Structure 1
Amino acid sequence: MTEATRSLLTLLKRVEHGLDALLQPVVFATMAALIGVITLQIVSRVLFSAVGWTEEVSRFLLVWITFLASTLAFQRGRHIAVTFAVDALPVQLRKGARILATLAVLAFLIALVVIGYRYMQVQSYQKSASLRLSMTYVYAVIPLSAAIMCWYALVDLVELIVKGERVGESAQ
């Protein structure tokens, strides 16, 4: 591995770790907000009359948590994967299969960015029922999370090409 390749990979990994360091507290804070809103909803229903906006806010927070946490799971390789066929291949074929799989994931994520952005624009005229919030803000998480996962997939692809394996995988 040349020095330029090593420094490029180091830069890509630093940006990846920076995104990770930014997303973790955001997901944590969103989860804490969701717990607070649901607690308010329960308490208000039991003791008073229900606070109307809590159901809507909790639904929107759950959507954002789901998409943003999925980027963290993607970066850590925690999504469901069936690898027994690829793991049974010889090392060079395994590397090629993993590169092809990463390219397919990258293509899907790029399509999700484009389609998610278009869907966000189409829904921009719709307002939420109780808060009258533009649904653009709710649907913005789709292209955002797909773009972040694209970055992670790109870093994985470069790492596969340069090193032949992802971090945490062992070549046989």
Structure 2
Amino acid sequence: MKEFNAKINQLIEWVLIVAMFAIVAVVSWQVFSRFILRSPNSYTEELARFLLMWIGVLGASYAYRTRAHLGLDLFYQKMIPTIRRKCSFLIEFSVLITALSLLVYGGGMLMNLSFALDQRSAALGINMGFIYVALPISGVLITLNCIENIIYFFKQTQEQE
């Protein structure tokens, strides 16, 4: 499972790199066309917004994998090791439940509703379900990483006993 997660997260890393390059290009074109050409494009603002949504949601799952997300570990570092391990498991389990309920289930419901209602974006005219699919994808990625962390936690606990 560790190798599978590593390959998936490497793919997500490349998707994020391409998306960051794309958002810089789109926003640069928007600024150029607005201020230099005096003829702004109608689709660039919406495309930049959608790219930012995907970068934010997929970036959160990538940050969770690499432990780059923000956290206050002042109390965590002062805990004794046995309580710290229990706290780590509780955190991982809480993230797992949150990812499954909010991102996978809730994001999936939002995506399905958008497809069912044929909700389209104003400027680009694409179905909003394609934009909202980032939520369940990110939820599945976070879930896979949580499961890997929980398995590692149990292996580590068994080795210490």
5+ residue gaps, structure 1, are 1-11, 165-172
| 1:101 match | 91
The Cα offsets for residues 44-80 of structure 1, whole Å up to 9 and x where unpaired, read as 1121411111111111011001111111110011222
Q: Distance in 1 between matches of 2:25 and 2:56?
A: 17
| 1:57 match | 47
Q: Distance in 1 between matches of 2:154 and 2:72?
A: 21
Moved segments of 4+, more than 6 Å: none
Aligned-pair identity (%): 25
Q: Distance in 1 between matches of 2:25 and 2:112?
A: 30
| 2:111 match | 120
Match 2:128 to one of 125, 135, 149: 135
| 1:20 match | 9
Q: Distance in 2 between matches of 1:107 and 1:23?
A: 22
Scaled by the length of structure 2, the TM-score of the pair is 0.89
Q: Tell me the number of residue pairs that the alignment of Structure 1 and Structure 2 aligns.
A: 154
Q: Distance in 2 between matches of 1:110 and 1:140?
A: 14
Q: Is the 8 A contact 1:99 1:161 kept in 2?
A: no
5+ residue gaps, structure 2, are none
Q: Is the 8 A contact 1:30 1:65 kept in 2?
A: yes
